[in-house]
Amino acid sequence: MARSAPAPARGGGDARPGFTPPSRRHEGPEARQAILAATERVLQYRRLDDITVTDLIKEAEVSRAAFYMYFESKHAAVAALALHVAEQMSDDVWEPWFRGEESAEEEVLVQHMRDTLGLWREHRAVLVATAEAWRTHSELYAGWGSLMWRYIEELERYIERARASGTAPDGLDAATLAAVLVWGNESTMYLHFSGAAPELQDEEQLAKTLAGVWLRAIYGHAPDAP
């Protein structure tokens, strides 16, 4: 008696022996990038305090082991994202100005403030979450804090060079002035992008005002164009 053909596999899956459906999970080196991208996506619509590691694992489609291979917590993932943006801001926007390779003309600094606002806008969710969290979780946001202090040190050296060349007057302590200007910028950006200060919502006026404050604090006036 002839044997009947085997029944097809249920669910429409591939019936080949040894076939394993492809996994949707990211593993290996690509898992880290998947976690970072997922973190930024989730922050677009949920506050950091309301997000769990499980939420990020599900969004990134990684295993719990893969998450903890790269990040000790949700804060560590946010801190890594923020540090990447801050380094981009430093390298692409501020380094030439801090080194004195650009004019101190007001419009040059206004453009740097515009570019800074642009990066904050592009990564608003990450940077707002960082500005809120680093003050209470400073050990997890050490990279962010270190980069801010690097900004302060570079601005302090800029002020000291301007004074030594005679283009800026002696006055307030350079280190303290640099710290006030850098942290003032960070706080202003947070207030603007968190929506906490409606009077700071005009970005063009904000860029011009921040540049004006910096130049007048350093030079006593806005330097003339060369």
Please indicate, yes or no, whether residues 90 and 50 belong to a single structural domain of this protein: no
Q: How far apart are CA 136 and CA 132, in angstroms?
A: 8
Residue 138 in any domain: the answer is: yes
Q: Is residue 40 part of a domain?
A: yes
Q: What is the pTM of this model?
A: 0.82
Whether pLDDT at 83 is above 70: yes
What's the CATH code of the domain at 63? 1.10.10.60
61 with 162, same domain? no
CA distance 7 to 15: 10
The confidence score (pLDDT) of residue 23 equals 43
pLDDT one-digit tens code per residue, 192-204: 999 999 999 999 9
Please give the structure tokens belonging to residue 131.
Answer: 């500005």
Based on the domain organization, do 168 and 207 belong to the same domain? yes
Q: Is the pLDDT of residue 16 over 60?
A: no
Least Cα distance to 83 among 150, 154, 144 occurs for 144
- Please give the share of the chain, as a percent, with pLDDT higher than 90: 76
- Residues 54, 159, single domain; the answer is no
146 is in which domain, residue-wise?
79-219
pLDDT in tens, 96-105: 999 989 988 9
Residues 49 and 104 in one domain: no
* Residue 92: pLDDT over 80: yes
What local confidence, expressed as pLDDT, does residue 26 receive?
56
Q: Is residue 147 a contact partner of residue 79, using CB atoms and an 8 Å limit?
A: no
Domain match, 55 and 103 both = no
